[in-house]
Amino acid sequence: MNFRQLLFVLWVACVTSLTAQNQIQDKMPPELDKVVNAFYATKPPAVWLIQPFVPLGQREAALLDQFKVRLNQALIDYSSIKAVAEMKQVYYGYILVCAYDFQRNAPVCPGKEGDQAATNSRLRVDVYTEPSRRTGQIRTLIVYSRGHLAIPSIANQEPVWFAGRFLHELLHAKQDRDGSPGARAVPRTPVWAADEVEAYDLVRQVLDKGTKGRYSQAIRRIVAAKRADSLQSLYRSITTNDLMAIDILFGTASIDETTNRLTQYLMDIGNIWLEGKYSVMAVKQYKIQNYLTVTNH
């Protein structure tokens, strides 16, 4: 750990010992459950592209190639965002896309083993199918873990959200590659959560760019209308119509994709409220606790 990383760890430990714990409760208000359930009820089931995915035929290999094009294109489309530009320098053209065979617990990659693409790749992306989701082998929709990233083979994934989810997890890959303290920290500790807050802030930038700023504008209108004096009162006041007013900016999501959206919406509602209340330096500690609160379920 270098000196700069040590300072970061000490800063997180310090700020999270301050008043944030008193300002933000540990759990979301129970009143929000009905709102969230009503929002889920509006979502259709996912349509999965390939069932099963392996063994790889021409159709499956072509589909993997389409995913590879989309992943690299996301790095181009959002490269005006500083963090994405930095990831593009590392990963553009160096992503190996494979199918994942959960029966064998191994990836199945197109081309011959040891070919140039596999040798030169800096990240492996495994595309998985519905059975692995339903059996619990994949517990979150898209996830990064030590050198590889898993994404679902769901049809018609909304392009802005597809890019946002991918870039969120790609940032974790880069944090890991760069030796971020959060990448090695115990889950749900402040140091670990600081990396998550950075990734959610990145997705907010992606959603803003994809909607020409309308995403944050919609959330600011909701926050302003609530006139809340605390995060708990703000979250208690959220309605299904509020969530729909944000979600309508994007294409339809399946129920499998909805959890990602909901977490982001609630995070950003809270973070925008916090940004209006605290200084740039002070707000970081509150965003960490807000993340731990929103995801505490």
Interval 93-111: pLDDT, tens: 999 999 887 777 788 887 7
Higher pLDDT, 288 or 143: 288
Task: Tell me: do 64 and 129 sit in the same domain.
Answer: yes
Residue with tokens 């004096």: 229
In a domain, 28, yes or no: yes
Which of 153, 174, 200 is the C-terminal boundary of a domain?
A: 153
| Residue 195 counted as domain residue | yes
Let me know: does 154 contact 257? Beta carbons within 8 Å.
yes
Indicate whether 148 and 190 sit together in one domain: no
pLDDT at 1 over 80: no
Kindly state the average pLDDT of the residues 147-171.
93
Mean pLDDT of 106-126: 73
**75-79, 113-117, 144-148, 155-159: least confident range:** 113-117
Q: Which of 197, 210, 169 is nearest to 275 (CA)?
A: 197
Is 64 within a domain? yes
Write down the pTM of the prediction.
0.88
Query: Residue 10 is which amino acid?
Result: L
Assess whether pLDDT exceeds 80 at residue 44. Answer: yes
Domain total in the chain: 2
Average pLDDT of every residue of the chain:
86
- Arithmetic mean of pLDDT, 100-123: 71
Considering the domain architecture, whether residues 126 and 77 belong to the same structural domain is answered as: yes
Q: Does residue 38 belong to any structural domain of this protein?
A: yes
In a domain, 169, yes or no: no
Supply 15's token pair: 């700020």
Q: Which domain holds residue 93?
A: 58-153
Q: How many CB atoms lie within 10 A of CB 278?
A: 16
3-state secondary structure of 122: coil
Residues 41 and 63 in one domain: no
Q: 30 with 86, same domain? A: no
More confident residue, 277 or 296: 277
Query: Is 238 a domain residue?
Result: yes
Nearest in space to 293 (alpha carbons), one of 217, 215, 232 = 232
- Return the number of other C-beta atoms located less than 10 Å from residue 181's C-beta: 17
267 belongs to a structural domain: yes
Calculate what percentage of the chain has a pLDDT beyond 90. Answer: 64
User: What does each C-alpha distance from 189 to 12, 24, 194, 195 come to in angstroms?
Assistant: 10, 16, 9, 10
Among 130, 153, 176, where does a domain finish? Answer: 153
Lowest mean pLDDT among 111-125, 156-170, 181-195, 265-279: 111-125
The helix (H) or strand (E) run that includes residue 229 is none
CB 72 within 8 A of CB 162: no
Question: pLDDT tens, 76-87?
Answer: 999 999 999 999
